[in-house]
Chains A and B, each alone.
Chain A
């Protein structure tokens, strides 16, 4: 080989080696115990029981009808329950502007509607019943017993059949006949305000969730009118009226049981559960799974086929009822909460409920750990029929936390 050829060969080899050097692949099959310095990572479990007397429910976080939903039901969430919605529309103007002049009008038709958000999809022949209620309700003291006398056939405005296939959307009714329109006519004392009650009817106990005036599917009261003039034209004008007030009333309003952990309802309740947090879990170990176990003290109440979501959140600091919840995707105690701890909670559930809270419990570790406690709630708060009552340390069926972890690997073993 000539010197020149050797140079080229060497240069080529050097270049090839340098390029190959960009890549590294070191993985090979392991074999224990020979190729296991420190052994195989262990998997251990610790079951923690809620601290005695340190699990409590608090009520009043989200008020009725303030979370975009009105609950209307018959025999839901329990057989003894009935929920009526009460919707007060704003004052309808008694004149319209026509050719630059305010004029009286005649009504062509009226359209009423409610927005269906959820229903029991297994129930057939569902009807939404609209009732005419007295036009000057005391909105600060509405109660089931107060409005119940108005939900009579005499006050029935319409019974709107809901298509069995409809799961969400507008449920309208339009009045054109004079007899029908007469049911919606205002008396002098009504101040041109319509107050409407909403109930449901079905062959079986059921319920619906309808939107409030602040949602995308609000109740609507629309009047189509023509001005009283010589040539009013063929086109009707629209007189829309917005929702001024809406709420719902319930026949059953059980008081929270202080011996147990009621969650959900309206106004909503949350359960704050504190756990002992052993020193061995505070640092160095790696938590691979944590499961919160709650034992229902009674079957979960709710609307079949429309489960609420049971959610467990870690708190940033323990301030009792006002403990701030760590939001997902943000650091909490130096740890990023990557996933919401939640599970659907169907009506009738009696088995132990398990929620995966690994991401949350990892926030209890590190140099600035979050308090070892979880807030349990049902979402959307005060906007679902789902209510649960779980056992507590006082009732003998406390919440438990199963923590699976890896102890620190013995790196120092050569």
Chain B
């Protein structure tokens, strides 16, 4: 018990940065969208996300929480990115998901707050080259670094209208900062290195509605609709522009043929193209609509204690909203596996997920990543 508590404390204070997995496909636009999923949901590649009370995808899923629950997620990303300029090995660690939620008894109501990654713009690019100054080519090394992105602060409630029907609603405050630094050094020491910095800040608001119902004894369906309005962008506290954010619609299906085995799948569609004109007007490449799909299963060795050593497997596919070049769609594929264990009479739990992800754009940009996620759950 003591060792577990020490492990818990260590995890809480372990240093890390950023907010979600990074990618070279998150350099343009608003960044790489986060998935707002817990380690438990990520273990099956997000197949169960619409039915996972520790994820922030659908507010209706909060109904699965029958006691106060705090969930905290740490994600490590080990990535190899390839572009026509070469290959880079990248690693970083982040906290993409945090949630506290619990039932409000005696009402059939569960409320919660969560903090998730909406988009991530963590990247660092190196550009060796030369510029012509004073009629002479001078060698330079440029580095463009970005940290931050958009975050989604959600306040949600799920209400059980009937024994087999739950409706959930949530409000989303979309905020965040993006600190960008451009650094240049010269091969000629007569030139002094330069550093330019800026902080982009974002502010927006969204709402979502989720419905979840059970059909028969083994089938559960979920539907989601969400609109995020727009986000206002400021550069160093000065208004810069505004970018429309998408409407999300989606649905999921969970089938539990036996107490030990569950299958699930979900599809989410977002009209990110609504941001296209704003991004192009601001000098960006643009945005395209996206569809994400995931499927997977969870095998529970002990149905009476389902959180102990389950086996989760799943896959997912998605189109990425911000291509690196106009007309060159980028896609993401992933295979994931996960498990977990509990301790302290199931008052604490750890979920582990390992995902192999591939992202690709047709014109020479692709990457492979190992994404390791650990979720820590406390039910006091």
Q: How large is the interface on A (under 10, 10 to 19, 20 to 34, 35 or more residues)?
A: 35 or more
A18's closest neighbor in chain B, by CB? B14
Tally the A-B contacts, defined by beta carbons under 8 Å.
202
Which residues of the partner chain B approach A36 to less than 8 Å between Cβ atoms? Answer: 125, 127, 144
A38 to B123, CA, bound (A): 14
Q: How far is the CA of A398 from the CA of B212 in the complex (A)?
A: 81
Residue A15 is within 8 A (CB to CB) of chain B in the complex = yes
Residue of A nearest to B188 (CB): A289
Cβ contact within 8 Å between A24 and B17: yes
Verify B126–A28 contact, CB threshold 8 A: yes
Whether A414 touches B144, Cβ cut-off 8 Å, given contacts A28-B124, A34-B365, is no
Query: Given A24-B17, A24-B92, A40 and B83 touching (CB < 8 A)?
Result: no
Please pick, from A14, A31, A356, the residue contacting B190 in the complex, using a CB distance under 8 A. Answer: A356
Q: Would you call B127 and A26 a contact (CB within 8 A)? A: no
B235 touches A411 (CB 8 A): yes
Q: How far is the CA of A10 from the CA of B240 in the complex (A)?
A: 46
Would you list the 7 A-B pairs with minimal beta carbon distance, nearest first? Answer: A28-B88, A21-B93, A30-B125, A413-B283, A414-B284, A411-B198, A34-B324
Q: Does B230 contact A (CB under 8 A)?
A: no
B64-93 interface code vs A (CB 8 A; 1 in, 0 out): 000000000010100001011111111111
Cβ-closest chain A residue relative to B79: A28
Interface residues in B, total, Cβ within 8 A: 83
**Is A13 a contact of B352 with CB atoms below 8 Å?**
yes
Complexed CA–CA distance, A107 and B295 (Å): 113
* Partner-B contacts on A (CB < 8 A): 1, 3, 6-7, 10-11, 13-15, 17-38, 40-41, 43, 45, 286-289, 356, 358-359, 402, 404, 406, 408-414
Whether the pair A411, B126 counts as a contact (CB closer than 8 A) is no
Residues of B within 8 A of A15 (CB): 7, 10
Min distance, Cβ A401 to any Cβ of chain B, angstroms:
13
Known: A26-B122, A37-B284. A10 touches B88 (CB 8 A): no
Residues of A within 8 A of B309 (CB): 1, 3, 6
Q: Are A26 and B29 in contact (CB under 8 A)?
A: no
Report the Cα distance A10→B201, complex, angstroms: 38
- Which of the candidate stretches B20-28, B47-55, B162-170, B261-269 sits at the interface with the other chain? B20-28
Interface of B is mostly: strand
Q: Any chain A CB within 8 A of the CB of B184?
A: yes
Smallest distance from the beta carbon of B174 to chain A beta carbons, Å?
15
- Is B366 engaged at the interface, CB distance under 8 Å to the other chain? no
* 9 additional contacts (CB under 8 A) given A22-B93, A24-B18: A10-B350, A13-B372, A14-B7, A14-B352, A17-B76, A18-B374, A29-B87, A29-B88, A288-B192
Q: Complex Cα distance A11/B10, Å?
A: 12
Structural contact, B83 and A31, CB atoms closer than 8 A: yes
A31 touches B85 (CB 8 A): yes
| Assembled-state Cα–Cα distance A7/B90 (Å) | 29
The answer to whether the Cβ of B298 comes within 8 Å of any Cβ in the partner chain is no
- List 25 A–B pairs whose Cβ atoms lie within 8 Å, in order of A's numbering: A7-B341, A10-B350, A10-B352, A17-B372, A18-B74, A18-B374, A20-B76, A21-B76, A28-B124, A30-B142, A31-B84, A31-B85, A34-B325, A38-B182, A38-B283, A41-B184, A45-B133, A286-B194, A288-B184, A288-B192, A402-B134, A406-B184, A411-B200, A414-B282, A414-B284
The residue in chain A whose Cβ has the minimal distance to the Cβ of B15 is A22
Query: Does B11 count as interface, using CB distance less than 8 angstroms?
Result: yes
B90 contacts A408, CB within 8 Å? Answer: no
Say if the beta carbon of B145 comes within 8 Å of chain A: yes
A3-B308, A29-B126, A409-B198 given as contacts; is B83 within 8 A of A41 (CB)? no
Best-surrounded residue of A37, A40, A287, A411 (most CB of chain B within 10 A): A411
Closest chain-A Cβ to B142's Cβ sits at a distance in Å of 6
